[in-house]
Structure 1
Amino acid sequence: MGIAERKIRQKEEFRASILEAAWLQVLAEGWQSLSIRKIADAIEYSVPVIYSHFENKEAILLEFTKEGFQKLYDVLQEAKDQHQGSANQLECIAHAYWNFAFDHKEYYQLMFGLGIPACDRVNQITEMKAMAMVMITTIKEAIAQSKTPDANYFLKYHTYLSILHGLVSIQMIEKEGKPGADKRMILQDAISGFIQSLFIK
């Protein structure tokens, strides 16, 4: 390995160590506690060294946001691929979304900390757009098979995401740990109603 390649690898490894220290800090104290100073102390480097890899704390948060949306995309795409028919797929995507939110609370809270991301933000982050497209393409397929093929798919997408995010947010506010079967029944009821609304007119 040449000197240039070694330097690139070392830079990537150091960047990874910064993110690892930041993640451990988040797990221990939450997103609000994250600071460049604490990260520097944890990896025993000076603050300027951290800034040479990340412009600011927001750049680190963006890195985790992208990572979170990539993980959510993978989960939703896998759920969709395992089932046939858009109605079944929308139901399974909803349950996969629910599971992700409570299995990866730290990611979810960062990804949706300010509510549902605005359209311009979605378009700026590739991972976020890919996640949204899993839902949008499935909803488009459902609408195409329905009695109202000219329905506004984007409106339906926002309704679907609002149901999911709203129900997850209510449970997270209650802070009871991972919701039980009774709470999942609420999710099932809401999503079944949404799916039914797509096909009945």
Structure 2
Amino acid sequence: MGVSERKLRDQEKIKQQIIDQSWLIVQEEGWHSLSIRKIADAIEYSIPVIYKHFENKDAIVEYFTKIGFALLADQLALTVKQNKPADQQLNNLAVSYWNFAFENKKYYEIMFGLGIPKCEVVNSVKEMKAASDVMMNCIARCMEEHQIDNSNLYLKLKTFWSILHGIIAIELISNQETNPEEVSPILKDAIQGFIISLKYKQN
């Protein structure tokens, strides 16, 4: 192995140490405790070494945010079964989204620290867009099945996402130490109401 290859391997190893230690801090102390100095102390490197790999703490947060959305997109995509009615798929998506949030609390906290991301942000980050597209395509299919004009598709997507996030955020605050044994009946009721709204023309 040449010198340049060895240096590259060493740099990748350090970057992975930064990522691993950052996640360990988050798991043990929460996102609010994450800092460049704390990471540097933990991996026993100087602060400038951290900055060689991540511009600042926000860059580390962005790294984990993208991972979280990629995981969410994969989980939602696995839920969609093309041979099932769109109504059922939307219910399944809601359950899958709920399960993701409570099985990946730390990721969910960082993904939605500031609420639902704006459309321009979603469209500029492929991991966010992948998760958004799964939900939007399912909503579009439901509207199509019921012959409803989809000119307000983006509004419906934002409504669906807001219902999910709003109820889950409340539950996360209320159940910080434990995971609910089943999906909230409030969420089930809200999603049923949302699905009904997709079946009828708006005045």
Length-normalised TM-score, structure 2: 0.92
Aligned partner of 2:69 in structure 1 is: 69
- Relative to structure 1, is the Cα distance of residues 87 and 3 closer, same or farther in structure 2, using a 3 angstrom cutoff? farther
Aligned partner of 1:136 in structure 2 is: 136
Per-residue CA deviations over 1:144-192 (Å, capped at 9, x if unaligned) read: 11142345111110110011001101101213521233x5222211111
User: SS where residue 189 of structure 1 aligns?
Assistant: helix
User: SS where residue 52 of structure 1 aligns?
Assistant: helix
Cα distance in 2 for partners of 1:200, 1:188 equals 20
Give the letter aligned to residue 95 of structure 1: V
Question: By how many angstroms is 1:82 displaced?
Answer: 7.5
Question: By how many angstroms is 1:16 displaced?
Answer: 1.1
Q: Please list, as runs of the form range in 1=range in 2, the aligned pairs for 1:101-120 lying within 5 A after superposition.
A: 101-120=101-120
> Is contact 1:143-1:151 (8 Å) kept?
no
Give the letter aligned to residue 54 of structure 1: F
Determine whether 1:165 maps to 2:165. Answer: yes
Aligned partner of 1:21 in structure 2 is: 21
> Is contact 2:87-2:195 (8 Å) kept?
yes
RMSD between aligned residues: 1.6
> Is contact 2:123-2:129 (8 Å) kept?
yes
Aligned partner of 1:35 in structure 2 is: 35
Question: By how many angstroms is 1:73 displaced?
Answer: 0.5
Greater shift in the superposed pair: 46-55 or 84-93: 84-93
Cα distance in 1 for partners of 2:134, 2:26 equals 29
Unpaired runs of 5+ in structure 1?
none
Cα distance in 2 for partners of 1:83, 1:135 equals 16
> Is contact 2:140-2:150 (8 Å) kept?
no
> Is contact 1:80-1:93 (8 Å) kept?
yes
Question: By how many angstroms is 1:13 displaced?
Answer: 1.9
- Relative to structure 1, is the Cα distance of residues 75 and 150 closer, same or farther in structure 2, using a 3 angstrom cutoff? closer
Cα distance in 1 for partners of 2:112, 2:126 equals 16
Aligned partner of 1:89 in structure 2 is: 89
Cα distance in 2 for partners of 1:198, 1:170 equals 25
Cα distance in 2 for partners of 1:93, 1:39 equals 36
Cα distance in 1 for partners of 2:187, 2:4 equals 53
Cα distance in 1 for partners of 2:136, 2:49 equals 42
Give the letter aligned to residue 189 of structure 1: D
Q: Please list, as runs of the form range in 1=range in 2, the aligned pairs for 1:121-200 lying within 5 A after superposition.
A: 121-176=121-176, 177-181=178-182, 184-200=184-200
**Residues paired across the two proteins, number:** 200
Per-residue CA deviations over 1:88-126 (Å, capped at 9, x if unaligned) read: 111111100000101111000100011111112112211
> Is contact 1:69-1:128 (8 Å) kept?
yes
> Is contact 1:15-1:53 (8 Å) kept?
yes
Determine whether 1:6 maps to 2:6. Answer: yes
Length-normalised TM-score, structure 1: 0.93
Identity of aligned residues (%): 50
